[in-house]
Amino acid sequence: MQLDRTRITIRERTTFELFDLALRVVRSFAGPLFRWVLVGVLPFALLNHWVLAGNPFIYEPEQLGATYTWWLLCLVVLEMPLATAPATLYLGQVLFHQTPTRSRIFGDLARSLPQLLVLQGWPLAGLLFCFWIDEASITGMYVVLAMVPFCFFRFGFRPYMNEIILLERNPLSTSNATRISTPRRSKALHSWSQGELFERFLASLLFGSGLALQLCAVAWGAKSWLTGNAELSPNVFAILLQASLWAVVGFFAVVRFLCYLDLRIRREGWEVDLRMRAEAARLSKELI
């Protein structure tokens, strides 16, 4: 990363400043960002529909609202790291004045995919396996309850594992003393900022929940106004809910990326480094 060639100012920011900056980034790169979010999200949206729609216990119309929402939410939470990987790679290139290309992004994604699956994909694989062996999803319920502490730890205290895997590309394990592995890098980056990380996790959780509810309400209102019918069929409900959840996930992929940069700015002294470079350049001009 070239710190003097960025599209955003390198400085420390508060949580609300990062939310505001995320809105500006989304506005500036809306088209390409939407496409890369869609590339990552669409396969998982189709997977969710296939898994849940084929399960009569979940897709039963009279209990579709609560049961379907619960299981879809569980799947989306576990799919977020994998689904947002293309958008993260795009942001990592475009915000540092690089030229993102499809071949480069897909190449970086292919090289990072083994680590993503090993470190980020196994909870999703476990839940899908439970759906496969237990059609009534009772086993899956116990698995989800067991994963709640894991999810709080991962998203509350180790939220930037995706960015470390995709952008820093350290080895999964190494015996070389001069290189650092991905787990060790994650521990080093996150260890001394856990209070702030958890605060941002709670802020994102509250804001994201409210945003998802608002998007669902807007989508339902638009459908009611256009069709003159406020009732939702199971298929329409599933489509609107998935679209709302994935829209929130796409926005928070940007928020998470900016929070990752902010943490590195604080931990690694990027702002101080740039100020020293600027001062050195000023002094060199005065000497000339």
Q: What is the pTM of this model?
A: 0.86
**Average pLDDT of the segment spanning 142-164:** 81
Higher pLDDT, 40 or 68: 40
Could you state, in order of their start, the residue ranges of all structural domains in the chain?
24-276
| pLDDT tens digits, 12-34 | 889 999 999 999 999 999 999 99
Percent of the chain with pLDDT over 90: 35
Selected residue with higher pLDDT from 74 and 63: 74
pLDDT at 58: 59
**Three-class SS of residue 229?**
coil
pLDDT of residue 269: 67
Residue with more model confidence, 150 or 277: 150
- The confidence score (pLDDT) of residue 60 equals 58
